[in-house]
Homo-oligomer: A and B are copies of this chain.
């Protein structure tokens, strides 16, 4: 088998932990597998480097920022290769430009275009454990690029796809994907399997186990993805293609995102191009918009447009939207902070009516008022007052039969 393993910053946090990762990689190698290991920077290092750049420049050029922050992974690949060699294993480190992970030139948020597997294959043939720097690539001009927060997950999955790996194992500090955040709901249950689609919704909805782009990549190339803990021997969660058994489960998980602000623009003229104008302006200002809901137009050909942004962007958004509101002849702009988004996710809900109704009933029974509703094929999201977020998660977790039955380990 060819296995790609990825270890995050916590797993690489100090020399002892790096030795632990070396031992795990060697176990797989000794079991006869070809092993490629992708690593993140030591925990805290990327932030330390970003702080340095922000001390020098108020708005650092992202090309140069990438030069600086990509050193975090350069240090850990070297250290892990050394740790493996110290345990009598063969190993060789690879930077993005040495593998040749070619990306576009969107510095700080680049996308992988192609991966050359020649050098890695040569290393594997020599029975080396190939240690690859996550998060980084190189563009056509030879400049160093980075893939955005959590980008090492994407590096791992992309390598697994390029090498047609039998498994991609993402090691983290939790032992798998849970039905919901265990810190909120102590009856949260670890999932043995979850579909790519569900994982995608869970990832995008605030479950920070995997970078969303890595899940998209895994889905596209059908890479079997394992989420495991680097500190236990738990088999973890397999993220894979949907199967029949999954469809029998209505809801696989519950995600929650807090600290959002909700905006409503009243009486927006219902004309083509208006939405593009509003959200184009927000995008230009680097404001990430989450839920967008537009109600059907009234008889006066006017509509209400609602959306959410992160709390930190509230002020910037308010100013911008007021200005645009005037330009497009809309009515008043309302906004409200302290909003949470609670979502239920499951491929099973596709074939079952009534899941939405049940969700709304559960929230109503708990006296939780729903501000905005948004749905996709396998997800229903409700914006609610943030103070009810935990209550809502716990009630939904029980109502959709996600509670663990056995007592909690540990």
Tell whether A56 pairs with B142 under 8 Å between CB atoms, given A78-B64, A93-B67, A97-B97. no
How near does chain B come to A89, taking the closest CB pair, in angstroms? 12
Question: Cα distance A49–B142 when bound, in Å?
Answer: 25
- Which residue of chain B lies nearest to A49 when distances are taken between CB atoms in the complex? B75
Q: Does A15 contact B (CB under 8 A)?
A: yes
Q: Does A345 contact B (CB under 8 A)?
A: no
Q: A82 to B97, Cβ gap below 8 A? A: no
Tell whether A56 pairs with B93 under 8 Å between CB atoms, given A64-B81, A68-B78. no
Q: Does A85 contact B (CB under 8 A)?
A: yes
Chain A, range 37-96, C-beta contacts under 8 Å to B:
49, 52-53, 55-58, 60-61, 63-68, 70-71, 74-75, 77-79, 81-83, 85-86, 92-93, 95
Q: Does A398 contact B (CB under 8 A)?
A: no
Select one of B63, B68, B79, B85 contacting A68, CB under 8 A.
B79
Q: A142 to B68, Cβ gap below 8 A? A: no
Q: B15 to A56, Cβ gap below 8 A? A: yes
- Which residue of chain B lies nearest to A67 when distances are taken between CB atoms in the complex? B78
- Which residue of chain B lies nearest to A69 when distances are taken between CB atoms in the complex? B78
Contacts of A397 in B (CB 8 A): none
- Which residue of chain B lies nearest to A19 when distances are taken between CB atoms in the complex? B56
Question: Cα distance A214–B142 when bound, in Å?
Answer: 28
Query: Per DSSP, are chain A's interface residues mostly helix, strand or loop, or mixed?
Result: helix
- Which residue of chain B lies nearest to A15 when distances are taken between CB atoms in the complex? B55
Q: B81 to A61, Cβ gap below 8 A? A: yes
Question: Cα distance A68–B83 when bound, in Å?
Answer: 13
Contacts of A65 in B (CB 8 A): 78, 82
- Chain A interface: which size bin? 35 or more
Contacts of A79 in B (CB 8 A): 52-53, 56, 64, 68
Question: Cα distance A144–B95 when bound, in Å?
Answer: 10
Q: Does A160 contact B (CB under 8 A)?
A: no
Q: Does A351 contact B (CB under 8 A)?
A: no
Tell whether A56 pairs with B86 under 8 Å between CB atoms, given A68-B79, A71-B71, A74-B68. yes
Interface centre among A18, A81, A97 (most CB of B within 10 A): A81
Q: Does A98 contact B (CB under 8 A)?
A: yes
Q: B86 to A64, Cβ gap below 8 A? A: no
Q: B64 to A93, Cβ gap below 8 A? A: yes
- Which residue of chain B lies nearest to A97 when distances are taken between CB atoms in the complex? B97
Contacts of A83 in B (CB 8 A): 56-57
Question: Cα distance A119–B143 when bound, in Å?
Answer: 12
Q: B82 to A61, Cβ gap below 8 A? A: yes
Tell whether A64 pairs with B52 under 8 Å between CB atoms, given A71-B75, A97-B97, A98-B142. no
- Which residue of chain B lies nearest to A18 when distances are taken between CB atoms in the complex? B56
Q: A74 to B71, Cβ gap below 8 A? A: yes
Contacts of A75 in B (CB 8 A): 49, 52, 68, 71
Question: Cα distance A372–B86 when bound, in Å?
Answer: 43
- Which residue of chain B lies nearest to A66 when distances are taken between CB atoms in the complex? B78
Q: Scoring A residues 95 to 113 as 1 if CB is less than 8 Å from chain B, else 0, what string do you get?
A: 1011000000000000000
Q: A57 to B86, Cβ gap below 8 A? A: yes
Tell whether A82 pairs with B95 under 8 Å between CB atoms, given A74-B67, A74-B71. no
Question: Cα distance A177–B58 when bound, in Å?
Answer: 38
Question: Cα distance A339–B296 when bound, in Å?
Answer: 92
Select one of B18, B60, B119 contacting A82, CB under 8 A.
B60
- Which residue of chain B lies nearest to A133 when distances are taken between CB atoms in the complex? B67
Q: A67 to B71, Cβ gap below 8 A? A: no
- Which residue of chain B lies nearest to A72 when distances are taken between CB atoms in the complex? B71
Sample of 5 further A-B pairs with CB below 8 A, known A15-B55, A67-B95:
A15-B52, A49-B75, A61-B82, A64-B85, A68-B79
8 contacts between A and B (CB under 8 A): A49-B75, A52-B75, A56-B79, A56-B83, A64-B82, A65-B82, A74-B74, A97-B142
Give the 8 A-B residue pairs with the shortest CB-CB distance, closest first. Answer: A68-B78, A67-B78, A71-B71, A57-B82, A15-B55, A57-B86, A64-B78, A64-B81
